[in-house]
Amino acid sequence: MVEIPAYKIVIRDLVLTVSAVLVSCAPLFAHNGPPFPVITDRMVGNYVISLWADPDASDDGDKDGRFWVVVNPAAKGAALPADTVVQLAIWPVERRDAIRMETAEADEREPARRLAAFAIDHEGKYGVKATIAGSLGPADIESVVDAEYDARPRPFLIAIFALPFMLIGFVYLKLLLRRRAHKPA
């Protein structure tokens, strides 16, 4: 039986480990963080409205800035009419003319909850306004949120950042094995 040199086994194990790390990092593009309440249960017109935000900025043009509006009728026990439409608008506080609008989509499981996503291209304060229209009448709420870039590096960057440490470990193991091979018996 042919014996495989120890350094080749170490190289094989290192390649397998690096491959496993890179492959396991691929599907980890998960949620950037929990949304937070901006406005909670405010009575406006015939509605009780809550606004939640996860205003992540992105240089990639991704719609990472997400806003949820929860709209319920003010009358206890009443159902939200199906014709209720929620429009969300955001704008940088310093440039009101750069307003962007989206119609918030209803959640399939909870029709009172509506979601709109925006591509926020820089950090800073953003105005956010929800406009509700429907058979219960109109309503508006407005607030300000701070958009920030997600502080965590992307998974593939974590693998790249770990690469120098793995290379140092590889060189150390190679030198250790070479020293053992040349050690007198």
Distances from the Cα of 59 to the Cαs of 33, 81, 152, in angstroms?
17, 38, 14
Q: Cβ neighbours of residue 112 under 8 Å, at least 6 residues apart? A: 70, 71, 72, 80
Residue 182: is it exposed, middle or buried by C-beta count within 10 angstroms (0-12/13-18/19+)?
exposed
Residue listed under structure tokens 């929800």: 130
**Domain 36-149 maps to which CATH number in 3.30.70.120, 1.20.1560.10, 3.40.50.300, 2.60.40.2480?**
2.60.40.2480
Sort strands 85-92 and 124-133 into parallel, antiparallel or unpaired.
antiparallel
Tokens representing 19?
């491959």
Q: Where are the beta strands (DSSP E) in 79-138?
A: 85-92, 100-103, 105-106, 113-118, 124-133
Is the pTM higher than 0.75? The answer reads: no
Per-residue pLDDT of the chain (185 residues; tens, 9 = 90+): 667 777 777 787 777 776 766 655 544 333 345 777 888 889 998 999 999 888 877 777 777 788 889 999 988 888 888 889 999 999 988 888 888 898 888 888 887 888 888 888 888 898 999 999 999 999 999 998 888 776 666 778 888 888 999 999 999 999 888 888 887 76
